[in-house]
Chain A
Amino acid sequence: MLSEKAFAAIEAAKKRYPDPRSALMPALWIAQEECGGWLPREAMADVARVMSLEPADVQSVASFYSMYYKAPVGKFVLEICHNIACDVLGARRIIDHVRERLGIAPGETTGDGLFTLKTVECLAACGGGPCMQVNSRYYENLTPERVDAILDGLRAHAEAGAPPPLPDERPQPADDGDAA
C-alpha cells in the first residue's frame, strides 16, 4: 500500500528516536500524507509492520489523536475553532455560514470531495479569532465574506491550479518560539 518513498521516510524517522517505536506518530503522519489525507486500514497495517508493532498498538494511537483520519476526508479539511475566544469573536456565525454555504454539518464532507468541515478546540491563535486551519495553513480574523473568498480561492486552487488563498492580509503575530 505505502510506497518505497514512504517506507524510507518512516525508516528515517525511526532513526531520530532512542527507541524506534517512538516514531509511530511521524510514521502515521507520513502514511496519511501519502494516502490522500487519511489512514486506510492497509496503510496502518503497513505502518505496524514497518514499526514492528501490533495492529492494536497502531490503532490505539491513531484513534486517540483527532488529526489522524480513519475515513476519507475532503481535499481541504476546514477546522474551525469554537473555543471560548473565537466563540466570543463570532465563531458560531462563521460555522453556520460554512454549513449553509457548503451544505454540510461538522464531521461531513461535500459531495465533490473537496471540503470536510470540523469544529475544533483552541488552535492557539486567539489573537486572530475567529480562526480556522485548512490543512496546514491558518486563516484568521474571519468574516463570512472572507470565508467566501477563501473557499472560492481553495476551489480555484484545486480545480484550476491557482495559488492557494493567502492566510491574512494583516501581519500575523510573530512566532517568538520559546519566549526567549
Chain B
Amino acid sequence: MTTAEPPVTLTIDGQEVAVAAGMTIWDAARRVGIDIPVLCHDPAMEPVGVCRVCAVEVEGSRVLAAACHRQVEAGMVVRTNTERCQRARRMVVELLLADHPRPCAKHQLDRSCELERLAEALGVDQPRFPMRNAERATQNGADGGPETEDGTPAHAPILAPPSSALRLAHSPFDLSSPVIAVDHRACILCDRCIRACDWLQVNEVIGRTGKGRRARIAFDDDRPMGQSTCVSCGECVAHCPTGALTDKPLVVALQPERLQRVDTICPYCGVGCAVTFHVQEGKVARVTGRDGPANHARLCVKGRYGYDYSSHPQRLTVPLIRRPEYYPKGPLSEEVRHEGDYRRHKPGAPVTDYGPILKAFRETTWDEALDLCAARFLEIKRQYGPEALAGFGSAKCTNEDNYVFQKLIRAVFGTNNVDHCSRLCHASSVAALMECLGSGSVSNPVADVARADVCLVLGSNTTENHPVAATFIKQAARRGTTLVVMDPRRPALANHAHHYVRFKPGTDVALLNALMHVILREDLHDPVFIEARTENFAALRETVARYTPEMAEKITGVPASTIEEIARLYGRAHNAIIFWGMGISQHTTGTDNARCLIALCLLTGNIGRPGTGLHPLRGQNNVQGASDMGLLPIVYSGYQSVADPNVREKFARAWGVPLNPKRGLTVVEITSAALRGDIRGMLMMGENPFLSDPNINKVRKALASLEFLAVQDIFLTETAEFADVILPASSHAEKTGTYTNTDRYVQLAKRAVAPPGEARQDWQALVDLAGRMGYRMEYRDEAEIFAEMAALTPGYAGLSYPRLAREPIPWPCPAPDHPGTQVLFAHDFPRGKGRFSPAEFAPAQELPDEEYPFVLNTGRVLQHWHTGTMTRRARALEEIAPQPFVEICPADAEALGIGDGDPVRVRSRRGEVTVPARVTRQIAKGSVFIPFHYREAAANLLTIDALDPTAKIPEFKYCAVRLERLN
C-alpha cells in the first residue's frame, strides 16, 4: 500500500467519496459515516471476507461484493442498503442464528453479541432452519472416529458400541482453561480468534478442525484449551464477536448495569499496556485492553487475568507494630526461616500462612505507627548520623510516590542512601548508556522494530517477560525483519527467529567483540557516522582486533562462521535495532556487556533513526519512572547528579533544606552495610529484598540486624517479617498517578477502587511521616506533586496532568508545546559525542568446578511477577504456574538419574533449595534454570552477591551449583 498513489473517487449511497487507493469499500463508507454491518471483520486485523454480512451492490457487478474485503476503484458506484443487500444479510444471519444459543453468554451479560445485535437490527427472529448444535459439538464424527468425554479423541480401536452414545456425551463447552470459557455452539466460525492468535499475538494456537457442518475452532492438535500451548493472553476473547469465547469471572459474577469503567495502565511489566478496569462492588472485576501507544489494545495473561490480587483477603488494612516478645527480630514463617523446599507449599493453599506472622504484631493506629517511625528514624539519625538511614522505593509505585519518597530520604532523613529494584535489573545497562551516550533510557520504542531490517534480541525471554512487546517483534519477524536471538537458554522467541545463537553463559563480551571484529574487518562499519558522532574509536579498534571469530569460538562455543554471518547481517542492515534483557545486565560484567552493545550500534551508525537504536527492555511497570524520579543514590530526578553543586543548590532551594552531597549506597551495598552496622534504620516502600536480592541467607541476617525497619506494602511480604512497623499501602488499582514505560511514555492512571480498611496512598503516608519528623510537605493531590517534580526535571518540564489526561507523551518533553520524543539522538547525544568504551572478556565470578559443576541461571516465568507478592495472590496466575522448578537438559538429567518432575536438591556455596525437575531442551548442557518468584523455594538462596564494579548489579545469571536427586 503506497500513499503516493492518487486518491480514488467513488460513489457510496449517492455520496461522492475520495479515498486512498487500496482502501476497502467498508473503510471508505465509514469515512462518510455509513456503517456497513460486519461479523468476521475486525479493523485491528486484515480482512478475510468469510461471513458475507457486509454484502453490498456494486453497479455493473453480477454478484454482491464483500465490502470489508473489496477494494475501491475509481468511478465505482456502491449501494450499501438496498433490499437485495438486506435480503442477503438476513439470510446469512438467519443461518448463523439457527445454530446459535439465544442469548449466548456474551449477549446475556451485556447484550453485546454482535450476531444477536445484528439479528435484532435486521429483524431476524426465529430462523426457519433446524439447529445443528449436536453435530457442531462432536469431533470429526465418522471421519475421525469417536472421542472420549473430555473431548480428546479416543485412541483405542473403534470397537463394538456405536459411537453415537459417545458423541452425545461430548459437551460443546470447553471449560478447561482457568480464564477462558469456550462455547462452540455460539461460534460463527468468523476466524477472528484465529487471526488474533496468529496475527496479533503470533502464538498460532487456534485453528479450525473438521469441515462443513462439523467445522469447529480447535486448539493445537484439537486439545482442550487448558491443555494446549495457549498462553491465556485472552486476545481471542477480546476479538470474539459472540459468546463463543468469554472471560471467566475471577472475582464476582459480572452485572453490567453495575460495572464502571476506569482507564488506567497495567500494573505489571515495563511495556506499559493501556487497560480499562471494569469495577463492580468496589473491586476490579474485569480488565480489557485499550489502544495505547505500547500495546495497541493487546494484553498478556498477567495484565488481563492477574487483577484480583488487589481485592485479595490478605491485603493489609491497618498499621501493625511488632510485639515486644518478638524481639530480637527474626523470620516468622517457615519459608523465611529455612532453606527452600517446594514441598512446604501445598498447591491451592494460600501462598503465605499469615497465622504465625500476624501473631508477632498488634494492630495500631496510623498516629501511633507513624509517631514511632518518626521517633526511631530521628533517634538513629541523631545517634549515628543520617547515613545510618536508608530507603528502598519501588518501581511498582507511581512517579509521584517515588518523587515524594526520595525527597523524604534526601530532605528529611538527610542521606542519598535511596535505591530500588532497578539496581537489580538494568543498573548496568543504565550505567553503560550514561557513560557512552549520556542518557540511560531507550533510544527507540519497541514498536519501531517494524521498521528495522534486522533485529537482535539478547538475553531476553521476551515472550514471557515482556509478552506484548514480543508480539511486535514476532509480527516484524513475520513481515520481513530478520530476527536474531542470542541467548544461552533458548527462549520461545527463538521459534520465530531466523537465527538462534546459543553461546556459553557469561561470554557475551567475547561474542560481541567478535561481531565488531568482523564488521571492521569486512568494512561494514559506518566511518562517516564514527567520524562525526563518536569518540575513542581507535581504542575500540585495538581491542576488538584481538577478538577474531576463531578466538571467540573457543570462548563462546559459537562457530566462527555463525559469528561472521550474524556480523554481516547486522553490519549490512540499513536499519537495525537491538533489544536486551537481564541476560545481558545481571552479570559482574553487565556494564561491559552493555558497553559492547552500544559500541556495536555506534560502529554501524544504527541509532537516531526510526527502526534503529538500543532498547534495554525495562522490567517493572514504572522502573523507568522510578529511576527518572531520582530513586537512585547518585542522582536527583532527571539524572541530575547529587555531586553537582549547582544541581544540589537547585534542589536545596526548592525543598528548603541543605542537602547531603555524599553519594549514597546501592541496594546490595546497603545490605552489606546493615550487616556491618553502618545502616541501622530503613524505610521499605513496596520492595521485598528478602526474595529479590541475591544470597538470601545474608539478606536474612542483614534484615534481622536492623535496629529499625518500617515496611510500607500491600501484603505481609517476607521482608515485612523483619519489620518493627508495617504500614498498609494502596495497590495500583487504588492509585491515581503517572507511570513511565520502557518506551519512555509517561502515562496517567486513574484510581479505580478505594483502598481497603485504613490503607493509605503511599505518598500520603510519606508526607505524614515527613511532617512528624519536622518537615512540611503539602500536596493537595498527585497533580501537585507532578507539577513540583516537572519543574525540577528537564525531561518532564513540558508535561502536566491536563496534557497527560489527553494522551501519553514520551519524554524528553521540555516545553508545554513540545510533542515529546519517540526517537532519541537524531542529531547528537546528551554527552555530545557517543563514546566507544571497549571491554575485555572476563569470566564470571564463580565458575563451575568439580564440587559445583552446573551454572545456575535465574529469571521469571510468564505468569508470575518478581517476588510473587501480587501474582501468587492472583487466582488464575497461581493456578497456571503454582510451582517452582529447575530446568535441566535431557542429557544431564539422564546422567544424574533425574526424571521429569522428580524432586531435586540444588545446592550452592550459599544455600539450597529443593524443587521438581523440568527436563527440557530449552536449557543447555551444564546449565540449569530456576525462577525466583517462589518463597517456598527461593532461587536467591543460591545466587551469589558478587557485584558489577561499575553498576553494582548482582550476578543473578551465573553461579555454580550442584544437583542431587532425592529419593
Contacts and interface: CB of A to CB of B under 8 A. Distances in A.
A, B from the same assembly:
yes
Interface of A: 40-41, 44-45, 48, 54-60, 63-64, 66, 69-73, 104-109, 111, 113, 116, 118
Contacts of B647: none
Nearest to A116: B158
B101 interface: no
A63 B210 contact: yes
Contacts of B140: 63, 70
A109 B141 contact: no
Contacts of A57: 204, 207
A111 B229 CA distance: 36
Given A71-B158, A72-B158, A60 B144 contact: no
B158 A60 contact: no
A105 B162 CA distance: 8
A58 to B, nearest CB: 7
B222 A63 contact: yes
B492 to A, nearest CB: 13
A118 B142 contact: yes
Contacts of A63: 140, 143-144, 208-211, 218, 222
B154 interface: yes
29 contacts: A48-B221, A54-B204, A54-B220, A55-B220, A55-B229, A56-B206, A56-B207, A57-B207, A59-B209, A63-B208, A63-B211, A63-B222, A64-B210, A64-B211, A66-B143, A70-B143, A71-B146, A71-B153, A71-B154, A72-B157, A73-B158, A105-B162, A106-B142, A107-B163, A108-B162, A108-B163, A109-B158, A111-B160, A118-B142
Contact of B155 (A40, A60, A73, A105): A40
Contacts of A41: 153, 155, 221
A137 B624 CA distance: 70
A13 B210 CA distance: 25
Contacts of A59: 207, 209, 218, 220-222
Contacts of B208: 60, 63-64
| B interface SS class | loop
Interface residues of B, number: 31
B360 interface: no
B666 to A, nearest CB: 45
A118 B140 CA distance: 14
Contacts of B966: none
A106 B206 CA distance: 31
Contacts of B220: 54-56, 59
A55 B157 CA distance: 23
A8 B891 CA distance: 25
Given A44-B221, A107-B163, 18 more contacts: A41-B155, A45-B221, A54-B207, A56-B207, A56-B218, A59-B220, A63-B208, A63-B218, A63-B222, A64-B208, A69-B145, A71-B144, A71-B145, A72-B145, A72-B155, A72-B157, A107-B145, A111-B159
Contacts of A116: 158
Contacts of A106: 142
Contacts of B98: none
A104 B160 CA distance: 7
B342 interface: no
Interface string B686-726: 00000000000000000000000000000000000000000
Contacts of B221: 41, 44-45, 48, 55-56, 58-59
Nearest to A119: B142
A44 B223 CA distance: 13
B555 interface: no
Nearest to A108: B158
Contacts of B153: 41, 70-71
